[in-house]
């Protein structure tokens, strides 16, 4: 297969997974998601010679940078920064706890939002994109050992935040909930 | 008790089986874009306008790569993000009151890029260990300043463009925490070196002039807690503070001097140190290799200070630490480019970032 064909196959296979990745970090706003995903694949197209066999973690890495660039873009910076929580100066903590905080996961999101952007990302990649440590390393552009260390610390911090703010209902209720497995890691 | 990752997994806001972005055939738009890419091998979709894209430390090519020296400076990953945003966000200069003076449409704008601080010729360098002793003595006094969560900082951050000269964005930021663990944040565009003159801001689509004191952010945050550095209170013991700063930098290895200075900036962007914490920090700085005293400077807020320089030759950055000779407290940190980045119009000697912290 030529690079173009490999790219087209990866595009078809992973388009929706990349869309979910972006949507999870943009509160699912469809218009913005589509725009950012388009940019992700445009960048991936330019770099298609580098596309690894396990394409999805690599595409997440491209998406991560595109999101960061989108945040840094002057046009939409403030708006996106608020959503991404990447900037201490405009951190997502301003989102006040509302009725949604009582929904399953609302308080987990709040616990997550209290962590650093780096902690949040390694946790999201593991829990939501369901990447293994080696794949997280590809997405973050670091070594496996560093990824493992970051995950370990981030988990500890998340645990501490959860313990601090966990509501009364038994946790077992949440642990019984299962999310469909992300597929196609490459 | 449920595993924290399981809890997080159950809170996936966009699950694969959810109503949006679920797996399946491409929709019309996605198909169209793929066809467009395959038809136009050179580029594909139109990219974002390549206008100014933020401070030097933020600059990446579309693939996410940073320019050479800056990339090296900002690696590895998490630290890179942290520092990058730190440089965007930090800043400040004093004198909000002055910003109210002299404003007027005919006043020339304060857009000139600041020059690096100049060490006064003939001034006597003071070794850092002397300041560390001084800081320890101050910490033992009854009316010594106490630790306060939040910060007050004036910063200047360099922003670059592919086709326009670099610009410098001056901001003042004040973060104050309340007893109920909520906090407020106020960010204004101002350059205290030019009170009353319009200043550049990156708010909106394009860098543009705004009035001195223009409010960029004024927000109140609900209560939040964290026991992780740099949000947790800094220790008063040098060894424990060293470990704290390592954790704040996400590293298990001892901090190099540039890393220590960056970690210090992170700390000061979150906390206004008391005398005891300051004594511990100054003790750490005094033990850092390659941080040499160069003499007296006047910082951009008009404060007299002693300067200490670290040359990070491999990364093309010189950091100048400015200390208060009366208390041993940190006044500011200036990062200057020592290796040019011609692609972005950045020359040797350009100030990449400058933070001046106040109480």
CATH code of the domain in which A112 resides:
1.20.140.160
Q: Which among A51-65, A171-185, B73-87, B333-347 has the top mean pLDDT?
A: A51-65
Is residue A54 over pLDDT 80?
Answer: yes
What range defines the domain where residue B305 resides?
128-358
Q: What is the pLDDT of residue B2?
A: 63
Q: CA of A29, closest CA in chain B: separation in Å?
A: 10
Is residue B355 over pLDDT 80?
Answer: yes
**Least-confidence region, from A35-44, A102-111, B219-228:** A102-111
**Inside any domain, residue A148:** yes
- Gyration radius of chain B over CA positions: 23
**Inside any domain, residue B210:** yes
**A158 at interface of B, judged by CB pairs closer than 8 A:** yes
Q: What is the pLDDT of residue A59?
A: 96
Q: At a CB cut-off of 8 Å and minimum separation 6, what does B287 contact? A: B238
pLDDT tens sequence across B41-61? 554 433 333 233 333 333 333
**Inside any domain, residue A69:** yes
Query: What mean pLDDT comes out for the span B269-278?
Result: 96
Q: A133-140 and A117-127 are packed helices; what angle lies between their axes, rounded to 10 degrees? A: 130
The whole model's pTM is what?
0.52
The total domain count for chain B is 1
Q: What is the pLDDT of residue A30?
A: 63
Q: Residue B76: its chain A contacts at CB < 8 A?
A: 142, 146
Q: CA of B123, closest CA in chain A: separation in Å?
A: 37
**Least-confidence region, from A29-33, B150-154, B266-270, B337-341:** A29-33
Among A38, A58, A172, most B C-beta atoms within 10 A, so best to mutate, is A38
Is residue B297 over pLDDT 90?
Answer: yes
Nearest residue in chain A measured CA to CA from B218: A90
Task: Supply φ then ψ for residue B340, to 5 degrees.
Answer: -65, 155
Burial of B151: CB neighbours in 10 Å, binned 0-12, 13-18, 19+: buried
**Inside any domain, residue A67:** yes
pLDDT tens sequence across B170-197? 999 999 998 888 889 899 999 888 888 8
**Inside any domain, residue A122:** yes
As a whole number of angstroms, the distance between CA B166 and CA B9 comes to 43
As a whole number of angstroms, the distance between CA B290 and CA B310 comes to 6
Written as one string, the DSSP assignment of B243-299 is HHHHHHTT-SSPPPHHHHHHHHHHHHTTEE--HHHHHHHHHHHHT-TT-EEEEEEE-
Q: What is the pLDDT of residue A167?
A: 56
Query: What mean pLDDT comes out for the span A55-84?
Result: 66
Is residue B120 over pLDDT 90?
Answer: yes
Among A90, A146, A174, the residue with its CB nearest the CB of B10 is A174
Distances (CA, A) of B209 to A37, B51, B144, B352: 33, 16, 41, 20
Is residue A98 over pLDDT 80?
Answer: no
Number of H helices, E strands in chain A: 9, 0
**Inside any domain, residue A87:** yes
Query: What mean pLDDT comes out for the span B321-348?
Result: 90
**Inside any domain, residue B34:** no
**Inside any domain, residue B240:** yes
Query: What mean pLDDT comes out for the span B66-72?
Result: 31
Is residue A178 over pLDDT 50?
Answer: no
| Helix ranges restricted to H, chain B | 4-10, 28-39, 68-74, 77-89, 96-99, 128-139, 238-248, 257-268, 275-286
What range defines the domain where residue A23 resides?
3-175
Portion 85-114 of B in contact with A at CB < 8 A = 85-86, 88-89
Q: Is B35 helix (H, G, I), strand (E, B) or coil?
A: helix
Share of chain B above pLDDT 70, in %: 77
**Least-confidence region, from A147-161, B12-26, B255-269, B271-285:** B12-26
**A108 at interface of B, judged by CB pairs closer than 8 A:** yes
pLDDT tens sequence across B298-330? 999 999 999 999 998 888 899 999 999 999 999
Please give the residue that has the higher pLDDT: either A3 or B95: A3
Q: Residue A145: its chain B contacts at CB < 8 A?
A: none
Q: What is the pLDDT of residue B163?
A: 67
Q: How many CA atoms lie within 13 A of A165 on its CB side?
A: 23
- Find the helix or strand (DSSP H, E) in which A41 lies: helix A30-46
Q: What is the pLDDT of residue A81?
A: 38
pLDDT tens sequence across B132-173? 999 999 998 888 899 999 999 999 988 766 667 778 889 999
pLDDT band at A8 (very low <50, low <70, confident <90, very high): very high
As a whole number of angstroms, the distance between CA B249 and CA A45 comes to 34
Q: What is the pLDDT of residue A95?
A: 32
pLDDT band at A184 (very low <50, low <70, confident <90, very high): very low
**Inside any domain, residue A10:** yes
Q: What is the pLDDT of residue B227?
A: 79
Is residue B96 over pLDDT 70?
Answer: no
Q: What is the pLDDT of residue B44?
A: 42
**Inside any domain, residue A183:** no
Mean pLDDT of chain B: 78
Query: What mean pLDDT comes out for the span B255-279?
Result: 95
Q: At a CB cut-off of 8 Å and minimum separation 6, what does A79 contact? A: none
**A135 at interface of B, judged by CB pairs closer than 8 A:** no
Q: What is the pLDDT of residue B104?
A: 35
Is residue B103 over pLDDT 70?
Answer: no
Is residue A69 over pLDDT 60?
Answer: yes
The total domain count for chain A is 1
**Inside any domain, residue B136:** yes
Task: Supply φ then ψ for residue B253, to 5 degrees.
Answer: -100, 150
Please give the residue that has the higher pLDDT: either B231 or B91: B231
- The region, left, alpha or beta by phi > 0 then psi within -120 to 50, assigned to residue B54 is left
Complex ipTM tops 0.85: no
């Amino acid at each position: 297969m030529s690079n173009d064909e490999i790219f087209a196959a990866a595009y078809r296979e992973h388009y929706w997974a990349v869309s979910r990745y972006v949507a999870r970090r943009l509160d699912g706003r469809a218009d913005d998601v589509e725009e950012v995903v388009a940019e992700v694949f445009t960048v991936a197209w330019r770099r298609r010679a580098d596309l690894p066999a396990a394409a999805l973690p690599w595409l997440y890495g491209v998406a991560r940078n595109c999101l960061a660039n989108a945040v840094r873009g002057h046009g939409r910076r403030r708006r996106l920064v608020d959503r991404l929580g990447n900037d201490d100066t405009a951190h997502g903590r301003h989102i006040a706890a509302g009725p949604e905080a009582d929904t399953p996961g609302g308080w987990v999101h709040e616990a997550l939002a209290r962590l650093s952007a780096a902690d949040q990302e390694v946790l999201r990649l593991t829990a939501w994109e369901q990447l293994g440590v080696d794949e997280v390393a590809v997405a973050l552009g670091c070594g496996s050992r560093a990824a493992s260390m970051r995950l370990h610390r981030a988990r500890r911090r998340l645990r501490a935040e959860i313990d601090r703010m966990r509501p009364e209902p038994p946790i077992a209720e949440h642990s019984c909930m299962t999310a469909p497995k992300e597929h196609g890691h490459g | 008790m449920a595993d924290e990752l399981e809890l997080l997994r159950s809170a996936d806001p966009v699950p694969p089986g959810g109503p949006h972005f679920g797996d399946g055939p491409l929709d019309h738009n996605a198909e169209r874009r793929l066809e467009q890419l395959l038809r136009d091998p050179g580029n594909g979709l139109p990219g974002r306008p390549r206008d100014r894209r933020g401070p030097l430390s933020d600059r990446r090519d579309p693939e996410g790569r940073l320019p050479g020296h800056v990339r090296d400076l900002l690696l590895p990953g998490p630290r890179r993000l942290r520092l990058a945003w730190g440089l965007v966000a930090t800043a400040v200069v004093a004198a909000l009151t002055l910003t109210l003076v002299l404003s007027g449409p005919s006043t020339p704008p304060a857009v000139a890029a600041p020059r690096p601080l100049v060490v006064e010729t003939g001034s006597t360098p003071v070794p850092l260990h002397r300041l560390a002793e001084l800081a320890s003595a101050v910490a033992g006094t009854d009316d010594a300043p106490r630790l306060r969560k939040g910060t007050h900082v004036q910063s200047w951050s360099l922003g670059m463009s592919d086709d326009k000269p670099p610009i410098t964005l001056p901001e003042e930021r004040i973060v104050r925490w309340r007893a109920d663990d909520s906090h407020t944040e106020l960010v204004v565009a101002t350059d205290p070196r030019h009170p009353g003159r319009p200043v550049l801001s990156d708010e909106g689509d394009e860098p543009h002039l705004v009035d001195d004191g223009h409010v960029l952010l004024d927000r109140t945050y609900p209560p939040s807690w964290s026991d992780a550095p740099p949000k947790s209170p800094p220790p008063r013991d040098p060894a424990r503070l060293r470990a704290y700063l390592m954790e704040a930098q996400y590293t298990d290895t001892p901090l190099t001097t540039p890393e220590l200075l960056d970690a210090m900036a992170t700390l000061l962007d979150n906390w206004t140190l008391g005398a005891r914490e300051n004594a511990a920090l100054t003790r750490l700085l005094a033990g850092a290799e390659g941080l040499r005293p160069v003499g007296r400077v006047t910082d951009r807020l008009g404060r007299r200070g002693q300067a200490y320089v670290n040359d990070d030759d491999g990364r093309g950055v010189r950091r100048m630490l400015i200390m208060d000779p009366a208390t041993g407290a940190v006044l500011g940190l200036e990062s200057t480019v020592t290796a040019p980045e011609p692609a972005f119009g950045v020359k040797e000697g350009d100030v990449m970032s400058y933070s001046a912290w106040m109480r």
